[in-house]
Chains A and B, each alone.
Chain A
Amino acid sequence: MTSAIEVSGLVKSYGRTRALDGLDLTVDSGEVHGFLGPNGAGKTTTIRILLGLLRADAGTARLLGGDPWHDVETLHRRLAYVPGDVTLWPNLSGGEVIDLLGRLRGGLNPKRKALLLERFDLDPRKKGRAYSKGNRQKVALVAALASDVELLILDEPTSGLDPLMEGVFRDCIREERENGRTVLLSSHILAEVEALCDRVSIIRNGATVETGTLESLRHLTRTSVTAVVSSPPTGLSELPGVHNLKVDGDRVTCQVDTAALDGLVKALAPLGVRSLVSQPPTLEELFLRHYESVTP
């Protein structure tokens, strides 16, 4: 499999603050890649380097096999971009902006544009200053999704969209994947990433802390287990990999490392399990675990 985006050891400083500090990111062709991190982690800076708007201080970045700083003309023909905070020209209508950006990119599909306008329920005749934040976001989304490109770079594209429109957005992204397009989806909305992404990179303070499929990432985290047993639960606290154990009469709750799950189940079985609930780690917990470790 070839890579659409290959970034390694990226460094970018603004004065004394280091926005990126050795960031790595690999996005395979044809996948939807989640780019996760809290505000200020360096997501937008990375994207701006990929778009040739900023120059990295150190490290390498390859985009669709080219150099994002030098090959602007050829690379940008093959990608579409949706910024996180869309600002429109106050006196241009949404339809004008969609057509303009599409044409600058080398043409857009009028049928798909009409379809997208309908699906996103967007009035293209309103002027930029009259749109709400969500509607401005829709203008940028329609402009990007209506063009024939290989790569979509989306920077927190659903901020300001209502839940209904978020659903439409997810359908659109799934269709894009079926059509073989690559998507880099920067987000801090975990449910969205969980629903859409094949692989995820989590960044913190300008560096990648975790990357892989959701499955493999879950492997690194703990499962919550709640059990009701017949005999008094003893000896569970000595098991390796069991954390936050609480025993309340016949009720046991704990968190267990995924690798130690087998040991816990074996220890519970002789006690006579009457009820057992196990919750796989959500991305949220995964995320929090990485960010909590910052504060000692």
Chain B
Amino acid sequence: MTGTWSLVRLALRLDRVRLPVWLLVLVGLPLATASSFAELYPGVPERMKLAAEMSNNPTLLGLYGRIYDATTLGGLVSWRMGGFLPVLIGLMSLLLVIRHTRAEEQAGRLELVGSGVVGRRAPLTAALVLALLVNLVLALLIALGMIGQGEDATGAFALGLSFAGAGLVFASVAAVTAQVTENSRTASGLAVVVLGAAYLLRAFGDGASAGENGPSWLSWLSPLGWVQLVRPYGNERWWVLGLMASVCLLLVALAYALVARRDYASGLVPPRLGPAASAMGSPVALAWRLQRGSLLAWSAGLAALGLALGTAAEGVGDLVRDNQGMADVFERIGGAQGQIDQFLAGALGIVGLIAAAYTVQAALRLRVEETTARAEPVLATPVTRLRWAASHLLFAFLGTVVVLGALGLAAGLAHGLRTGDLGGELPRVLAGALVVVPAAWVVAGLCVALFGLAPRLAAVAWGAVVLFLILTYFGAVLQLNQWVMDLSPYTHLPKLPGTPFTATPLLWLVALAAALTVAGLAGFRRRGIG
């Protein structure tokens, strides 16, 4: 463990911008929501009415989670933020751990550090210490913020700690995946898959709680479900925090056991030899070789999500049909069919937005190739800059269509087979996924523009995706002006299936994407490489 503290300080120095930005977003969102709710639902009657509407709507329950205490502002914030914010906290934590363990090791920088007086467990310990620090600061800031809003201190700390607990569970998951593979991207990919599975389990479990006999116990299988099961402000169950801590300890113990068993820079899976020769002979062939893994993984992942969503959609209808008391309420918003459409459109919209991560990563591959100096030998051959850029952008633009198509096809297939109307439902659901494409293309265009005109700022594209996510899904709750929400291309998409299709906004988005791409490519042709 020698040298751990020096490594923690080094990591703090390296992350001195990144972590404050994460904390600003992750603390700012719940506090802004609190002040917004204080205005929207000032008294107990308004809050009870909201809770009653929510508790019978499986789509909204799945999206946001269950309400355990509607009488206090804290209880409402705990419900509204508990469903999604822990996903972001988990993401921050797992990326942090991978960044300071496997990514450093893969880049060879840890070798330099490791030759100093540093124990072999020190890098992992340092990363976990940093994750613990960041999550505790997060918990403290949220708790103090809620107390500042005049809410009960016990609930405030329960809320902050439940969020931090989710972050630490996923930091521990990443500590394990970082030991398994040599490649840091695979390691973070594995951890993100666990995060996604946890989100789905919680969403299904919470969604099912609308019915009498739904499998609401599914939420108990998900670390993200535990966040709301702590029940901040609603008769807190502190022992759930203990459950989180135990899982963390188990995973961390596993990670340390794995560290002791492997060599520096190697994973548990040994590398294989490759072919001695290759038939690759064009930039597109190279791009395919470099991007196919990510394209296939995303397509498979979103197809699996699509199957789950498509299978669940009809269940949403059943829950509504069973619920006699709310029948006329649902009749007003389109009955069972309306509920199913709303569920599908909402879920496809969110998953579609998450697919922007694929788009950004595929488009920014250009920048990665440039900064790692791997673009240079290719551009020293007769391949022109445009041809090289186009080879990777093919995957950013068409790859996005493939990924979203896989989502829509799988969801449509599952839903169509369950309802027995494959021919009718498949095209509707597929359209719901593909309608997201123009917005994703705007994201791709933004990446190209940054890459061509301000390459050093290329990573800002990731920030833009997070911003779009916040604007589109939290904009209304934060009472943002419509024009602010309109900054996100995803706000302009027609919600399919269920609402009438309008082509105009889509055409505008495509035109904007094209303009950004052309500007970026023009800039790239004129600037220096490297």
Contact = CB atoms under 8 A, between A and B. Distances in A.
Interface of A: 48, 51-55, 72-74, 76-77, 79-81, 83, 85-93, 95-96, 99-101, 103-106, 124-127, 129-130, 140, 143, 153
Contact of A53 (B271, B275, B281, B528): B528
A93 B530 contact: no
B379 interface: yes
A77 to B, nearest CB: 5
Given A104-B382, A127-B271, 4 more contacts: A92-B289, A93-B273, A96-B275, A103-B280
Given A53-B530, A83-B376, A85-B373, A104 B281 contact: yes
Given A87-B372, A104-B378, A104-B382, A95 B271 contact: no
Given A72-B384, A125-B274, A126-B273, A90 B528 contact: no
Interface in B283-307: 283, 285-286, 289-290, 293
A206 B382 CA distance: 28
B380 A87 contact: no
Contacts of A52: 379
A83 B373 contact: yes
A129 B271 contact: yes
5 contacts: A54-B530, A77-B382, A83-B373, A85-B373, A91-B274
A73 B277 contact: no
A100 B278 contact: yes
A13 to B, nearest CB: 11
A72 to B, nearest CB: 6
A83 B378 CA distance: 11
A141 B293 CA distance: 29
A153 B377 CA distance: 12
Nearest to B286: A100
Contact of A95 (B277, B286, B529): B277
B276 interface: yes
A51 B183 CA distance: 32
B282 interface: yes
Contacts of A54: 528-530
Contact of A101 (B106, B275, B377, B529): B377
Nearest to B388: A104
Contact of B380 (A73, A76, A100, A127): A76
A197 B374 CA distance: 29
Given A87-B373, A104-B281, A104-B282, A93 B276 contact: yes
B276 A124 contact: yes
A130 B374 contact: no
B291 to A, nearest CB: 11
Nearest to A104: B381
B182 interface: yes
B184 to A, nearest CB: 10
Given A124-B277, A130-B271, A90 B382 contact: no
A96 B490 CA distance: 41
Contact of A88 (B183, B286, B374, B381): B374
Contacts of B275: 93, 95-96, 125
Interface in B370-400: 372-374, 376-385
A81 B377 contact: yes
Given A104-B382, A105-B381, A125 B528 contact: no
Interface in B500-530: 526, 528-530
Contacts of A88: 374
Interface in B262-282: 271-282
Interface in B9-41: none
A268 B108 CA distance: 60
A74 B372 CA distance: 26
A99 B385 CA distance: 20
Contacts of B283: 104
A91 B277 CA distance: 14
- Most chain B CB within 10 A, of A95, A99, A100, is at A100
Given A48-B529, A127-B274, A104 B372 contact: no
Contacts of B374: 87-89
Contacts of B281: 99-100, 103-104
A86 B378 CA distance: 12
Contact of A55 (B182, B376, B384, B528): B528
A203 B124 CA distance: 46
A104 B279 CA distance: 11
Contacts of A79: 380
A80 B378 CA distance: 11
A80 B278 CA distance: 19
Contacts of B384: 72-73
Contacts of A106: 382
B366 to A, nearest CB: 14
Contacts of B285: 100
B276 A95 contact: yes
A96 B382 contact: no
B382 A95 contact: no
Contacts of A99: 277-281
Contacts of B529: 48, 53-54
Contacts of A127: 271-274
Contacts of A100: 278, 280-281, 285-286
A101 B381 contact: yes
Nearest to B379: A53
A83 B376 CA distance: 8
B379 A51 contact: yes
A48 B530 CA distance: 10
Interface string B301-343: 0000000000000000000000000000000000000000000
Contacts of B271: 127, 129-130
